[in-house]
């Protein structure tokens, strides 16, 4: 299957969304690592070191779970933001790809008509950018072909 310009743009936006999702996951891992470092600084003292391994594990588990519950609320908020970012990003990329490929579709239709022998085709020149330049050049070409 040949990828159209629209498909390529949509795929690029999907890749960006994927990268943002991975970044979100990595920040969660960094947070967990930071939480363990924080535990080492704040909780490891004489009382902790004199406790049995089972008690040390319970202290560690309690500290991590208490802090992660606070972080879980933040993660839900981040997750909702990420969902809306993904949805808006996909909508924007689909819309933008349509805006960028519509002039090409019009030009392709005109080229196909010329290929069938219709030299009276004229493409509207709506802009002064590259699309407008191509449309104007196409119109000049069909005019010269009609005159020949």
Identify the DSSP state of 126. Answer: -
Q: Assign 131 a pLDDT band (cuts: 50, 70, 90).
A: confident
In this predicted structure, the answer to whether residue 140 has a pLDDT above a threshold of 90 is yes
Helix (H) or strand (E) holding 61, with range, is: helix 53-115
Model pTM? Answer: 0.49
60-69 LR contacts (CB < 8 Å, sep 24+): 63/39, 64/35, 64/36, 64/39, 67/35, 67/38, 68/32, 68/35
- Comparison of pLDDT for 61 and 136, the residue scoring more: 136
pLDDT tens for 11-66 read: 877 788 788 777 777 777 777 788 888 888 888 887 888 889 998 888 888 888 88
Provide the pLDDT for residue 70.
66
Q: Assign 68 a pLDDT band (cuts: 50, 70, 90).
A: confident
Q: How many CA atoms are closer than 13 Å to the CA of 71, on its beta-carbon side?
A: 14
Smallest Cα–Cα separation from 106: which of 130, 129, 122, 128? Answer: 122
Q: How many CA atoms are closer than 13 Å to the CA of 18, on its beta-carbon side?
A: 6
pLDDT tens for 4-22 read: 777 777 787 778 878 877 7
pLDDT tens for 75-119 read: 677 777 778 877 887 788 788 878 888 888 889 999 999 999 999
Provide the pLDDT for residue 139.
94
Provide the pLDDT for residue 71.
67
């Amino acid at each position: 299957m040949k990828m159209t310009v629209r498909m390529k743009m949509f795929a690029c936006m999907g890749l960006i969304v994927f990268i943002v999702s991975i970044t979100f996951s990595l920040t969660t891992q960094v947070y967990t690592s930071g939480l363990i470092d924080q535990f080492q600084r704040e909780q490891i003292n004489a009382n902790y070191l004199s406790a049995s391994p089972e008690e040390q594990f319970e202290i560690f588990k309690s500290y991590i779970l208490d802090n992660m519950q606070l972080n879980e609320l933040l993660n839900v908020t981040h997750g909702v933001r990420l969902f809306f970012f993904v949805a808006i990003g996909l909508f924007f990329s689909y819309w933008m790809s349509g805006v960028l490929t519509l002039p090409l579709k019009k030009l392709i239709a005109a080229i196909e008509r010329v290929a069938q022998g219709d030299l009276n085709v004229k493409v509207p020149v709506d802009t002064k950018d590259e699309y407008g330049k191509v449309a104007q050049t196409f119109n000049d070409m069909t005019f010269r072909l009609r005159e020949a």
